[in-house]
Structure 1
Amino acid sequence: MASQLDYHAIHEIFTRFHASEPEPKGELEHVNAFTLLVAVALSAQATDAGVNKATRALFKIADTPEKMLALGEDGLIEHIKTIGLFRQKAKNVMKLSRILAEDYEGQVPSSRAALMTLPGVGRKTANVVLNMWFHFPAQAVDTHIFRVGNRTGIAAGKTVETVERAIEDNIPVEFQQHAHHWLILHGRYICVARKPKCGACLIRDLCPYEEKTL
């Protein structure tokens, strides 16, 4: 784990990320807050590409909690059976759909606490929804962000919670909204787990990682 970078280095890193891609987007396909919530819940231990492939047809017929309930668990399974842990995920989606329909008038709540009461929705999923749909600067720390944060010293921490706090505390406010997307994309395509592509890295000169690749 690299030591925490100082303000000036972090500001320069995110200035470069912003210049390269001013409006980074999440890669999960969705049409509203509900389909985003479902897509994120389905993406645990699965790839965004795999989730998108499964949900394109699903969201055409079940884009609200009420329509998802009408489809039923067996109908949902037929759409998502290519996704890992699909049976448990189907149960969670049906349960959260019922709660949204009965307790929230079919709307996805915009508070982290309320989101985290839904089956299958943890802090990371809640933060993705808060960030992507409600445009709240919540930081959803996945394996990519955890690795990049520690490897670069942008957000050092031994737990997901400490990395999330380090992002909130250390990244300048003007970059908070898109910070987790920049970090995810950097980790997914450049700062990969094995043999990071340091030669193609925008921030190589600022990164303290000692085992840089050529």
Structure 2
Amino acid sequence: MECEQAQFSNSTDDEDQEKSARRFVGWAMGLPFVAFVARETFGGRTTLLTELPTPLQWVACLAGLALGGVVAQILAQRSAKTFGRSKAIFAAISLIALSVVTFSYLGRWAFELASFANLETEIQSAQVRIMGVRTGKSGTFAAARLFPDGREVDVPITNELYADLAATRPPLWSKTYSEELFCLTLPQQNGRWGAIRAYVPARWDDGLSHFEDCHRQIKG
């Protein structure tokens, strides 16, 4: 009887540890998604057209790596027995990668907020060159750049505009930045430290429905 009770107690402890490990993995995996949703909800109508300065990129990546490493170590301690060694290692690596990506994403957002906080600058229209288009469950988008070494950003567009632009390939998308002929016009604002941002439709808004021949009349 005592042996059976001991086995039942060990089994219960293992189940509790497994549930605890699964909850921990769920929270750790869910936090990056929550951060992304928060960014898209509160700041989804603007996007940086310039890259995050290199020193800040390193800071964000190292911070993400450090936090991811700590979380991964805790995960390994909690789940090695319940998940198995290979699954625990895979989950730990995934957490570290997610942490680095999330901190880079949030670092860029923080830089944008700091660059434009309490700053009143004129908003002007600017053309961004269309480098490609894509579609998926999250919508239809045009990949656009303000200048050759700038960030390539996703701009929501309508299904009709996607179809028009997609019909121009393959010759359009095989060209370099300077050779691209089609543009989108976006409201643009200059901030501190060389930061430039554009105002774009949020993911739940209607996308842009017109494109232009660069420096020419609007088509659409």
**Normalising to structure 2: TM-score of the pair?**
0.26
Q: Which has the higher helix share?
A: 1
Q: Which has the higher strand share?
A: 2
